[in-house]
Amino acid sequence: MSENAPVVTRFAPSPTGYLHIGGARTALFNWLYARGRGGKFLLRIEDTDRARSTPEATEAILKGLEWLGLDWDGEPVSQFSRIERHAEVAREMLEKGSAYKCFSTPEEIAAWREEHPRQPFQSPWRDATDLPDGPYAIRLRAPRTGETVIDDAVQGPVRVANDQLDDMVLLRSDGTPTYMHAVVVDDHDMGVTHVIRGDDHLTNTARQIQVYDAMGWKRPVFAHIPLIHGEDGKKLSKRHGAVGLHEFAALGYPAVAMRNYLARLGWSHGDDELFDDAQAREWFDLAGIGRAPARLDFKKLEHVSGHHIGVMDDEDLLRVIEDYLVETGAKPLTDQQKSRLLPALPALKEKAKTLPQLLEQARFALVSRPIDIEEKAAKALDSVSRGMLKSLTAAVQHASWTRDELEQAAKTVAEENGVGLGKIAGPLRAALAGRAATPSVFDMMTALGREESLARLQDQIELAG
């Protein structure tokens, strides 16, 4: 492949279910490789299996890619819509002699395989000249000697003896193309220069290369990436927890964090663990992909997620939170809630690993008066503590409402009552948030503002009545 040729990658999912986390990583690798080189990233929906392909699954895939932030060039291509083109190429190969008509029935093929176990099927029609009428499949006239070599950018040279490969069916007897044939035609016609996909496709590649060669088409660069395993080293499945991209989104990992984590899952750039999109596009290359299966590590994912939440712009983070609430079917934020949450984010985002954790800490900014007090917090609100809240209210009534001044006022009230700051922080926490565990009381007061903070304090003072 010429270094000057424009890079074209593709993601080609089958719409038979949700977007698996492994598929999302494959899409990301293709996106990063193309975007980092000014190339094109194409999307093809491999929907030739009409019995299993559904519009709902296609929509789920598109939605998943959009959530992950992977934009593609042009319109998504439907493989099923191109079956005439696939058939045309098969017939062209038939005319050239690189394919032949096979009249063997499924029963005859099954009988042959039973008689010749562990051998690739050898059609008796490969070199026949006296051909009958009736339905036939078109098979590739594959080489019987030598070997097919896959120069894989990740796995290195992979050699397959040609006598271990059968003459692949290109067109079935009902006139429909096989998936293995359609993939090659589509990749060629779409100008794909780099096929980056899971290494579970590696066994197919030798057969697909033979189609390229038979048509005289230039082979793309193949890069087969190892699969993702669970933390126990076994193939990722439901028993490991979340495996669908939508499940990770629902757990509250921001898309930017998922891009960082998935990029690092099987690929490395030195010791860099945390990076932004621009760095990922600049650094990503095929040489950095390892050959060993990657392991999904939820603790590491949480660490990456916490980092990106912490460095995110507050306005951007608020939009991410709003989108998350919509996606999970929660009530959208009111204007009042947004006005209280935004100034609270600088303090809240430092400790949160996920969006649900952040929202739990932000509860004080999202609830309305009168505040429900949980039992544990209510214990801090006796007549003495309410008296201190009354003193604090008077002390901060005309304060400038900065964090430092609020804290100093609380210390003064505590000293006047002969107690430590913690003795006033507990009832203050309960009055402001209704909880015993909250962010800093002074961070809450600055986020809520003077009017709301004093109103919440007054509610508890009046209860002392």
Whether residues 92 and 184 fall in one domain: yes
Does residue 121 fall inside a structural domain? yes
| CATH of residue 93 | 3.40.50.620
Annotation marks residue 238 as catalytic: yes
| CATH of residue 417 | 1.10.10.350
Last residue in a domain, options 366, 399, 416: 366
Does residue 34 fall inside a structural domain? no
pLDDT in tens, 167-195: 999 999 999 999 999 999 999 999 999 99
Whether residues 185 and 275 fall in one domain: no
Whether residues 361 and 433 fall in one domain: no
Total domains in the chain come to 3
Residue type, position 113, single letter: R
Whether residues 332 and 435 fall in one domain: no
Per 3-state DSSP, what percentage of the chain is helix, strand, and coil (rounded to 5)?
A: 50, 10, 35
Residue 164 CB contacts under 8 Å (≥ 6 apart), including other chains: 120
Three-state SS for 463?
helix
Q: Supply the pLDDT for residue 234.
A: 87
Q: How many CB atoms lie within 10 A of CB 126?
A: 14
Q: Supply the pLDDT for residue 312.
A: 98
Which has the closest alpha carbon to 12: 41, 51, 52?
Answer: 41
Does residue 379 fall inside a structural domain? yes
Whether residues 198 and 288 fall in one domain: no
Regarding beta strands 294-295 and 228-229, do their DSSP bridges make them parallel or antiparallel, or are they unpaired?
parallel
Q: Supply the pLDDT for residue 3.
A: 55
Whether residues 151 and 285 fall in one domain: no
Whether residues 217 and 292 fall in one domain: no
Which structure tokens are listed for 228? 């993702």
| CATH of residue 355 | 1.10.1160.10
Last residue in a domain, options 335, 366, 397: 366
Which structure tokens are listed for 356? 């649900």
Provide the whole-model pTM: 0.93
Last residue in a domain, options 310, 336, 366: 366
Does residue 254 fall inside a structural domain? yes
Does residue 451 fall inside a structural domain? yes
Does residue 40 fall inside a structural domain? no
Whether residues 196 and 308 fall in one domain: no
Whether residues 181 and 200 fall in one domain: yes
Catalytic residue among 238, 300, 379, 423: 238
- Residue 235 is labelled as binding a ligand: no
Reading the chain (465 residues) residue by residue, the pLDDT tens digits are 445 679 999 999 999 888 999 999 999 999 999 999 999 999 999 998 888 889 999 999 999 999 999 999 999 999 999 999 999 999 999 999 999 999 999 999 999 999 999 899 999 999 999 999 999 999 999 999 999 999 999 999 999 999 999 999 999 999 999 999 999 999 999 999 999 999 999 989 999 999 999 999 999 999 999 999 998 888 887 777 778 999 999 999 999 999 999 999 999 999 999 999 999 999 999 999 999 999 999 999 999 999 999 999 999 999 999 999 999 999 999 999 999 999 999 999 999 999 999 999 999 999 999 999 999 999 999 989 999 999 999 999 988 999 999 999 999 999 999 999 999 999 999 999 999 999 999 999 999 999 999 999 999 998 765
Does residue 239 fall inside a structural domain? no
Whether residues 294 and 330 fall in one domain: yes
| Burial class for 211, CB neighbours closer than 10 Å (0-12, 13-18, 19+) | buried
Whether residues 262 and 346 fall in one domain: yes
Cβ–Cβ under 8 Å, residues 283 and 270: no
CA distances from 336 to 343, 345, 367 (A): 12, 15, 10
Does residue 156 fall inside a structural domain? yes
Whether residues 190 and 129 fall in one domain: yes
CA distance 409 to 333: 32
Structural domain of 328: 245-366
Bridge partners of residue 223, in order along the sequence: 196
